[in-house]
Structure 1
Amino acid sequence: MTTTTSLNLDTPLTIGGIELRNRFIMAPMQQYKGSPEGYATEHHVQHYSRRAKGIGLMIVESTAVSDNGRLWPNDIGIYSDRHTEMLKRVTDAVHTRDTPIFVQLSHGGRKSAPEVTDRLIAPSAIPYDESYGKPAELSISEIEALIEDYRMAARRSIMAGFDGIEVHAAHGFLIHQFLSPISNLRNDAYGGTRLGRMKFLKDTLAAIRSETGRNYPVIVRISSTDYIDGGLNPQEHAMILKSLEADGLLDGVDVSSGGLLPIQPADIHPGYQLPDAAAIKQHLQIPVIAVGKIYTRSFADRIIRDGLADAVAIGQPLLEDPDFAQKMIGLKE
């Protein structure tokens, strides 16, 4: 790994068509404060604007592209034009801090909240667990309708003033379910091989790009591993992402892990997902974001200096202390 001593957390970073003032990213973290109809509330306006000062980029919590795909009953959504009004208030408030803000577009698939899901769906009729129940296998026409949901969500994201989009393909939700051979047993165009399993993500990104154009930043959040033999791993993901990068569909990747199955990693220590991010980064030209208990300035600087990742995303400390970013950016350990 090449060491670049001139790079650190303060170094600007370009993602797609925008330049971040630094490499500190606020990770998407659920607030559980959405209205029953999936609208953002005044809480979100205050929460995000309060934390925006000094941060290079904010990524808003999971935002549902379908009323049938919310991850929790109090998720926020972007599945109608009416949702954009409050989301525009969020982005306007963050922009007063001169901070760019991305939306995270999601669909829960077989992990959609049972309380607000009329019909549980997935690539294959395999349940996550008993509490969610058995999903229905998606037809081709239903898959095409879901891709259209993402396209319209991208259009609304621009209407709402977001500076970019993160596509949620991690944590066992719908796109992750398509990508993994554990949850996708299809033998049609959307399964069977790596190319088949990645087709839903590729088609979704292409639909999003049809609305955003090439210069608008589009990144993806992945789970680098399913923590089980036969599931996804960093090497498989590197090949998927390299193909999407070559097609001009991606401007960055945010590397998390797990969530497809009720399996926890054996050891959750500071930077526990970092080796996977570093392994994936070796195959890509686009920026790679590391996340996972990276809570000190010295650790973040070392990650960037040593070329293990291009940026660091932090979540939980910002929930507990809205000034955490300013303290971390300003603190030279």
Structure 2
Amino acid sequence: MSTPTLFTPVTIGEVTSKNRIMISPMCLYSAEDGVANDLHFVHLGKLAQGGAGIVMVEATAVTAQGRITHGDLGLWKDDQIAPLARIARFIRDNGAVPAIQLAHAGRKGSMQRPWYGNAALTQADIARGDKPWPVVGPSAIPVDNGYLIPHALDQRDLDNLREDFRAAARRALAAGFDIVELHFAHGYLLHQFLSPLSNFRNDAYGRDREGRMRFPLEVIEAVRAEWPAGKPLFVRVSAVDGVDGGITLEDTIAFAREAKARGVDMIDCSSGGLRGPATAARLPRGYGFQVPFAAAVRKEAGISSIAVGLILHPQQAEDIVAKGEADLVAIGREALFDPNWPLHAELELSGRSEGVFDAWPKQYGWWLERRESVLRGLQGPALPFRSQKGS
């Protein structure tokens, strides 16, 4: 029986992932002073044990000012390296590639943790100890009414920010990560530069598409110069703003070509988020609704792509990579629902009857193999993956 495409290895630069499944970066908003804690360790370790080829740490701020909330992870100082190194080691020891997303929130910083409202900080948040800090952006235009007005970054600020991204990449390397992703999506700083709805500059960093791309491309150049040539560099984009007058797919394809020329290996194709929550956009939602963006970027820009967004079913994920619509699929909230989603997907797609649990952690697999022999002799409802296989 042939191996499903989803479970064939893929090599990016000098790094090989055992399969085509990546766990998306998902913020827990639970750090203190940017430092990872046991919750981050257990969360990411559990996902590594679940069978994904790549496990990516959540948006990690390159400056304290660049956090979305007080609970964001950071890599703006050396004290933050060791707890992340512990996580990277565990991910690698469990067969996955450790990856990390570097980010700056820009004008969407100094916000509430989402379970308190996911909007601008209020007096109730301040009473809890989450005090606001000044935010920055390409232009002095707030996210919406009631949000902080950002300071428009000047040339010295931009020069410093490029170095902040470079320094964070250096710390990510010291922590043992093999892949870095730069966050250019969901309304955060580098997305703000790319979108005509948030970038109203009249200098070399604005005016037209070429100008709006200039600073994000400079950040790529700075990080690529710091990040070893054999280690992959990804960029997550909002392929479209989903708002009238915003970024179009054609804009993103043009940007992806320029990013590839500067050493980016893969474009991670999300959408929306410029105004409001991370994925807010007037886009029709359905299973795999963002896959066409990944397919178009892959075809038109000639760069590998990652599909993300309501990819819930194993056969759906298999079809995406088997048809060449994307090189990887990124599983996010479905992995929160089922941390073993990759292992369950392999069971469903492989149709194995022997060695069913070979890919599972040995501490679990030997138990489950023994239970399997018992289950085969029982009558009654099958487990979900068995019913999907028709067994």
Cα shift at 1:323: 1.6
For 1:61, the equivalent position in structure 2 comes to 58
Q: Specify the code of the residue in structure 1 equivalent to 2:43.
A: H
Gaps of 5+ in 2: 112-129, 350-388
Cα shift at 1:128: 0.4
Q: Distance in 1 between matches of 2:258 and 2:40?
A: 36
What does 1:127-166 align with in structure 2 at a 5 Å threshold? Answer: 127-166=142-181
Cα shift at 1:246: 2.1
Q: Distance in 1 between matches of 2:13 and 2:97?
A: 12
For 1:225, the equivalent position in structure 2 comes to 240
For 2:88, the equivalent position in structure 1 comes to 91
Tell me if structure 2 keeps the 8 A contact 1:68–1:117: no
Alignment equivalent of 1:52, drawn from 41, 48, 51:
48
Gaps of 5+ in 1: none
Q: Distance in 1 between matches of 2:314 and 2:106?
A: 37
Q: Distance in 1 between matches of 2:334 and 2:293?
A: 22
> Relative contact order (alpha carbons < 8 A, sep ≥ 6): 1 or 2 greater?
1
For 2:325, the equivalent position in structure 1 comes to 308
For 1:292, the equivalent position in structure 2 comes to 309
Alignment equivalent of 1:329, drawn from 346, 359, 377:
346
For 1:173, the equivalent position in structure 2 comes to 188
Alignment equivalent of 2:220, drawn from 189, 205, 211:
205
Change (3 A) 1:116 1:75: farther
Q: Distance in 2 between matches of 1:147 and 1:139?
A: 13
1:88-140 per-residue CA deviation (whole Å, 9 max, x = no partner) reads: 11101111112111110000000002445532110011110124221111111
Which structure: larger Rg? 2
Alignment equivalent of 2:337, drawn from 305, 320, 332:
320
Tell me if structure 2 keeps the 8 A contact 1:15–1:287: no
Cα shift at 1:266: 4.3
TM-score by length of 1: 0.94
SS across alignment from 1:101: strand
- The answer to which structure has the higher helix fraction is 2
1:205-259 per-residue CA deviation (whole Å, 9 max, x = no partner) reads: 1111221132221110000111122211111110111122123x20101000000
Cα shift at 1:272: 0.9
For 2:267, the equivalent position in structure 1 comes to 253
For 2:120, the equivalent position in structure 1 comes to none
Q: Distance in 2 between matches of 1:86 and 1:57?
A: 19
1:27 paired to 2:42: no
Q: Tell which deviates more after alignment, 8-17 or 183-192.
A: 8-17
TM-score by length of 2: 0.80
Q: Percent identity?
A: 38
Report how many aligned residue pairs link the two structures: 327
Q: Distance in 2 between matches of 1:214 and 1:84?
A: 21
Q: Specify the code of the residue in structure 2 equivalent to 1:9.
A: L
1:273 paired to 2:285: no
Q: Tell which deviates more after alignment, 259-268 or 281-290.
A: 259-268
Tell me if structure 1 keeps the 8 A contact 2:217–2:258: no
Q: Distance in 2 between matches of 1:244 and 1:116?
A: 36
Tell me if structure 2 keeps the 8 A contact 1:124–1:186: yes
